[in-house]
């Protein structure tokens, strides 16, 4: 079965940096739409960043601060988060999906990011 394993969540101070990792199993990340989502308590889950073979996309609130990247050799996707703000606090989820065969829509278990002074 497809599996995504996130790591890297932590408690950091505002202005700090953190790198989240998403290791993919039974998934070729480079052939998938990879995304990082986040969900804060009481709020909707939102797409933070995504990466395909040709594009990266970011929600406006993280542009210039977050960078999504992919290491094809390790089949791992990263989210580098800089200049963190308290409003970035959320559970961050990795997602991998393909819209063509073999189709899948897989989610990791989530990793907690807390930004607090």
Q: Which residues lie closer than 8 Å to 100 by C-beta, 6 or more apart? A: none
Average pLDDT of the residues in 22-41: 92
User: Predicted confidence band at 109 (pLDDT cuts at 50, 70, 90)?
Assistant: very high
- Which pLDDT score, from 0 to 100, does residue 26 have? 87
Phi, psi of 13 (to 5 degrees): -85, 155
At 72, is the secondary structure helix, strand, or coil?
Answer: coil
Least confident of 26-30, 43-47, 86-90, 107-111: 26-30
| pLDDT tens track for 34-92 | 999 999 999 999 999 999 988 999 999 999 999 999 999 999 999 999 999 999 999 99
Determine the pLDDT at residue 84.
98
Report pLDDT for 1.
81
CB 86 within 8 A of CB 116: yes
């Amino acid at each position: 079965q497809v599996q995504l394993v996130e790591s890297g969540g932590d408690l950091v101070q505002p202005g700090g940096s953190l790198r989240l990792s998403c290791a993919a199993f039974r998934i070729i990340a480079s052939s998938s739409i990879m995304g990082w989502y986040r969900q804060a308590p009481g709020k909707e889950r939102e797409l933070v960043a995504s990466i395909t073979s040709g594009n990266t996309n970011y929600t406006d609130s993280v542009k210039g601060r977050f960078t999504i990247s992919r290491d094809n050799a390790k089949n791992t996707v990263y989210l580098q988060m800089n200049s963190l703000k308290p409003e970035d606090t959320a559970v961050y989820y990795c997602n991998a999906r393909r819209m063509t065969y073999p189709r899948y829509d897989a989610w990791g278990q989530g990793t907690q990011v807390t930004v607090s002074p």
